[in-house]
Amino acid sequence: MSALRAIMRKEVSDHFSSNRFLILFSLIAMVSILMVYMAGLKISQDLEGEVKPTFVFLMLFTSSGIGFPLVQFVAFFGPLVGLILGFDSINREWNEGTLSKLLAQPIYRDAVVNGKFLAGVLVIAVTLVSIVLAITGLGLVTLGVVPGVEELYRIFFYLLVSLVYICFWLGVAILFSILFRSITTSALASLASWIFFSFLIPLAASAAASAAPPLAGESNTGYVMRVSELERTLSLVSPMRMYLESMAVIVDPLRRTTSALVAVGRNEDISLSRFSGPLSLNQSLLMVFPQIVFLVAILVLCFAVSYIVFQRREIRSI
């Protein structure tokens, strides 16, 4: 246990003092704060004249001021943090000859992988929490609204699921750093898999779905529904899609389905909500439970594979 703690502590201090992390962190912090500031301005415009709007605070995360909302920003670029923290974690030690020195000490092999992974998790958690705290502070200033208890719970779950999502990509990067001895190769492989699963799969899914011919005697709406259902099914392979679906529901209490066929604007949304109250938190969570389980499962799977590969690696080649 003390070996695990020692490795973890060293890794965390390495991360926090590395230039690459500082650059990345300041970039992400800047963009997200700017985005929320813009979103805040837009929300206060939109809500002018509205009587007793609910869950205003959460809108900071979902409404888009410039470009796209924060939730989507994390979905797109959060993985990059995980990848950057992990892509050279094992093979750098390999190349510098420190790995065999580490393993010649009385520690179990898994302490190395676990220590590095947990250090990454800790760093990601600190990043996420500090960004969300900054956003909360800004939200208080720009909106003048204090988040309610349920909103805080929702933000907590938002953090938790985001952590799992980004840690999955950390796990992918660590796996590549075990598989490939060259740091460049593992960096490229990590980036390639990120681009493939986050950007190519959704594109390919929509291309493939729209290629499906209409059935004989099928109504127009039926066809559109079927194509969109097909597209959704195909794009479920993408962790980003899973994350976005679960986030949309967790952060937006008014949402009652993970697959909205038609985008509903704010005003329609409000008029709809006149007839249906917001969902309670556990109802929302229940709805995206499969997505969350999926994210946790791929994280565990990825970790297990790197664990097994590392345990079996012949030391001589290290």
Partner 1 sequence: MATQPAIETRDLCKRYGAQLAVERLNLQVAEGEVFGFLGPNGAGKTTTLLMLLGLTEPSSGTARVLGLDPRRQPIRVKRQVGYLQENMGFYRDLDARQMLAFIAELNDLPAGEARERAEAALVAVGLAGEAGKKIGAYSRGMRQRLGLAEILLKQPRIAFLDEPTIGLDPDGTGRMLEVIQRLARERGMTVLLCSHLLEQVERIATRIGIMIGGRLVALGTLGELRDAKFGVAGGQYTLEEIYLKYFRESAG
Positions that interact with partner 1 (CB under 8 A): 2-3, 5-7, 10, 14, 17, 93, 96-108, 314-316
34 vs 147: CA distance, rounded Å: 20
Using CA atoms, how far residue 294 sits from 114, 161, 200, 246, 291, in Å, is 22, 11, 20, 11, 5
Long-range interactions of 140-148: CB distance < 8 A, separation 24+: 142/36, 142/37, 142/40, 142/41, 142/44, 143/40, 143/43, 143/44, 143/56, 143/57, 143/60, 145/56, 145/57, 146/57, 147/57, 147/58, 148/55, 148/57
129 vs 296: CA distance, rounded Å: 19
Specify the residue, 52 or 316, whose C-beta has the smaller distance to partner 1.
Answer: 316
Q: Nearest approach, Cβ of 106 to partner 1 (angstroms)?
A: 4
Q: Nearest approach, Cβ of 92 to partner 1 (angstroms)?
A: 10
Q: Nearest approach, Cβ of 80 to partner 1 (angstroms)?
A: 23
Specify the residue, 11 or 245, whose C-beta has the smaller distance to partner 1.
Answer: 11
Specify the residue, 10 or 20, whose C-beta has the smaller distance to partner 1.
Answer: 10
Specify the residue, 2 or 276, whose C-beta has the smaller distance to partner 1.
Answer: 2
Backbone angles phi, psi at 168, to 5 degrees: -60, -45
